[in-house]
Structure 1
């Protein structure tokens, strides 16, 4: 297995990188990538139908650690093609809103199958024999991968779920970069007075506050975009956020306990101080 897979996935990654370098337009890039991936999937499936794994451990390794390298790219480029084909072309603000809406969908992804999402993210392995070993008697249902061959000889109950998780991660980064690209191209530099306030807390604490305002929709009657709010906070508090706001928010979403730890701390401290004044 190792000889075939090493050569197969090395060639695959090199060709995908070549497509990304040579084709700038996202729609054309996605179409070219999908055509190539479909050819490589046929090659991989042809090999897989004939190959007999030497052990359960080898089968688990293939379906958990290797197969998603190609299937996640297929899911990713399918979504890119859909997103870019439906993106507004005549308004930067509408385009940002389009990307923001898709990004929020990405943020909700972990709620689809919370238990497996936590299992995979935590690096667990105790159920690998159930998730990543083929079972011809078990029905496989995954609405996210309708374009991928679901032949029970070619996939397990959860290997395509892994591919969807990885594809969602790539899509988050893609959308974040597209939003930043539009904003950076739209920004007009003006001389400004440096704020006398400097945020001395952590960036992730600032991000909690920003997203709390954003979801409450209290700026511009709810029309303010998350990046606009972040930019104002950055200027007012002398803190550089840029792309880190999305990374920090991902960390907040993945917290096993309370998502708004800093906001809870603010509320508790305010209550304590007010109560102290009346004691």
Structure 2
């Protein structure tokens, strides 16, 4: 099972990139991705029920990283489809007010249901000490006073908390998306996205590589004298490459625990640039 699981997120990223290069409008693209991700989750569930996991590490990785990434994107693209198909107009003050309202609702949901939870702090901090409780089947503790939707959870394919991680990822994606719609420079952003030269720009390395680059640019203060945060830099790359990075903060915590170099992409940039310089001496 391990080989199949290790490639599934790469396949999702590849499909997203393929759709983004075909010039589909956002409604068509989000609809196709919603269908694709829903079918992929069904396929994964069937495979896991049939074959099981090789060990605890594979099970934890699936319910902490793989399934939430897929489910989070499914929630996100379905929400984008619903938002876009309900949009009253395509520009102007009513357009801006519509997306501003969606953004405010997202912020309120985060404030009321996510921000102050113990699990959110656990996940955001990159901790792993309770993974056996949060990320394995059959470990749901009903004595903790969990949300009532726990009784609708498929105990053969969910740990209850995998859905919570998926919601965090979906909200992060939706936040970036709505920011791109409500930013005061939205019109210029649309012009940038619609120009033929920019449409040809595709991020072809891994998402982790781009996340590493974003954090490096933030750490060194290379953008706006270091006065903008990670999310704003992420938004800039989203507008440029139309690439959804998901929960970049949690991805950063995983990078800190890498074996070997924790800055693999930055290291490769240095090596490649020096080789390029040597060729042009």
TM-score interval, normalised by the smaller of the two chains: 0.5 to 0.7
Q: 1:125 to 1:6 in 2, by over 3 A?
A: closer
Secondary structure of the equivalent of 1:29?
A: helix
Q: 1:77 to 1:142 in 2, by over 3 A?
A: farther
How many residues were matched structurally? 194
Structure 2, gaps ≥5 residues long: 192-223, 235-248, 250-281
Q: Structure 2 CA distance, aligned partners of 1:91 and 1:59?
A: 46
CA contact (8 A) 2:133 2:140 kept: no
Structure 1, gaps ≥5 residues long: 188-239, 255-279
Query: Which residue, out of 156, 170, 173, partners 1:170?
Result: 173
Query: Which residue, out of 247, 253, 259, partners 2:231?
Result: 247
Normalization by structure 2: what TM-score?
A: 0.59
Normalization by structure 1: what TM-score?
A: 0.60
Q: Structure 1 CA distance, aligned partners of 2:190 and 2:13?
A: 34
CA contact (8 A) 2:140 2:160 kept: no
CA contact (8 A) 1:92 1:182 kept: no
Q: 1:171 to 1:16 in 2, by over 3 A?
A: same
| Paired position in structure 2 for 1:42 | 42
| Paired position in structure 2 for 1:126 | 129
Find out whether 1:184 has 2:185 as its counterpart. Answer: no
Q: Structure 2 CA distance, aligned partners of 1:4 and 1:247?
A: 32
Secondary structure of the equivalent of 1:178?
A: helix
| Paired position in structure 2 for 1:236 | none
State the shift of 1:91 in Å.
Answer: 4.9
- 1:21-40 alignment, distance < 5 Å: 21-40=21-40
| Paired position in structure 2 for 1:160 | 163
Q: 1:27 to 1:244 in 2, by over 3 A?
A: farther
Flag the structure with more relative contact order, 1 or 2, with Cα contacts below 8 A and sequence separation at least 6.
Answer: 2
- 1:1-279 alignment, distance < 5 Å: 1-89=1-89, 91-108=91-108, 109-113=110-114, 114=116, 115-135=118-138, 150-180=153-183, 182-184=186-188, 244=228, 247=231
Q: Which has the larger radius of gyration?
A: 1
* Cα shift readout 1:126-182 (whole Å, capped 9, x = no counterpart): 222221111187678576x9xxx9421111110111011011111111111122363
Q: Structure 1 CA distance, aligned partners of 2:166 and 2:140?
A: 22
CA contact (8 A) 1:60 1:133 kept: yes
Secondary structure of the equivalent of 1:134?
A: coil
CA contact (8 A) 1:176 1:246 kept: no
CA contact (8 A) 1:132 1:158 kept: yes
Backbone CA RMSD of aligned residues: 3.3
